Structures are given as C-alpha cells and as structure tokens.
Chain A
Amino acid sequence: EVKLVESGGGLVQPGRSLKLSCAASGFNFNDYWMGWVRQAPGKGLEWIGEINKDSSTINYTPSLKDKFTISRDNAQNTLYLQMSKLGSEDTAIYYCARAPGLRVPYYFDYWGQGVMVTVSS
C-alpha cells in the first residue's frame, strides 16, 4: 500500500523557518518524482513544486522559489520542504504527493494526509 506521511508542521513565528518531512512507503521511492501542494484555510490547491528521482531537476512556482527548497533522501525514502522567511500567507495545509512520469511528471496519483503550518506571533 502506498503511504505518504507528512510531519514537522505546527505554529511558527513570522520570519522564522520550518522544515517539513514526508515519509514514503509501499513503493519504490527512487522511481518517482515527488511534489508539494498547499492549501490555505478555506481556499483552493496551490502547486508548490516538484523534484525528480535523483534530485537533478527541481521546479518551483515562481512566487515561492526564493523561500522554499525541496529536497529528498532516497536512502531514507523521505521528501523534504524547507521553508524560510515565513509569513501569515504561508499558513496552510501542506501535502506531499507522488507524481508518476519518466522524464516529466504530470499528475499526482497519491497524496499524504497533509500537515498544518500556522504562521503567527
């Protein structure tokens, strides 16, 4: 069974940093692109970015490129999202998701349960 479990969320002060993790199991992590999507309270889905199998290609939505860093550790079957200079606009549920595709990912076929990040003083 494919399983994605996010962790590392919580309450963080404005301007601070936070690192989220996503533990993957039930599939060969090395064979898949992975991505992050977020959802502000009561709002729609926002694509954050994606990383390929060997971390040689990482794509971000332009507005978050200078704040967020996506990485992965294939030995640990874990995806990461490093977030810096957090503001209230970053308050959201953060989802990790698996993206099938050889050279290019297309859609997300499995999603984690999400982790809440609240930015507030």
Chain B
Amino acid sequence: DIVLTQSPATLSVTPGESVSLSCRASQGISTSIHWYQQKSNESPRLLIKFASQSISGIPSRFSGSGSGTDFTLSINRVESEDFSVYYCQQSYSLPNTFGAGTKLELK
C-alpha cells in the first residue's frame, strides 16, 4: 500500500498567517493526490483534486502543488473558519489511502 505521511501533525497559527501543509507519498504517484478539510463533527469536504486543481465553491485562498512524492496544500491568509483537520488521499493505486491528517489550530 502507498503510505502518505502528513506533516506537521499539528500547526498552530494566528488568523492572517499563510501556511503550507505537507503530504509525502512512499512512492511516486504523479499528481494523484486530493485534499480534504474536516471540521469538528462534520463530514470531510473536498478542497483540491489532482494535486492542484481547484474545486467549485472552495475559497481561492486554498491551493495545491506538487507531483511525484511531495505535495503541498497552501492556505493564503488563514481565516477563523479554516481551523480544521486536513487530509490528503491518493488514488494512484489500490487500495486508495489517506494520510493521518494535519490539525490546523489557533495559536
């Protein structure tokens, strides 16, 4: 199985800061990575598909980049509603797998 390692596990920031969340794959997966946001007690929400493709309805401050094994989710100027857990997921090979998540919390 492909292992996705997300770092850091927790990121403490103040609103207005810009942040980068990392997702590293155990082998090359082209751009077959997708990002989700999960707020407390809610279902996950798709943020970015195929590493960098935007999703309708998602604020433009969210962006993604990377290919191969290293991927980044960037949030430009974090807002209060962004404090959540973020997961990456790979669809390069079966079984699809998720990373363990990065919790973005208020400093």
Measured CB to CB, the residues of A under 8 A from B are 37, 44-47, 49-50, 59-62, 95, 104-109, 111-114
Contact = CB atoms under 8 A, between A and B. Distances in A.
B32 interface: yes
Contacts of B97: 47
B43 A47 contact: no
Nearest to B53: A107
B89 A95 contact: no
Contacts of A61: 1, 95
B1 to A, nearest CB: 8
B34 A106 contact: yes
Contacts, number: 56
B44 A108 contact: yes
7 interchain residue pairs of minimum CB distance: A107-B34, A61-B95, A111-B43, A106-B91, A45-B98, A47-B96, A44-B101
A46 B101 CA distance: 11
Contacts of B36: 45, 108
Nearest to A104: B91
A37 B38 CA distance: 13
Interface in B59-107: 85, 87, 89, 91, 94-101
B39 interface: no
A62 B97 CA distance: 12
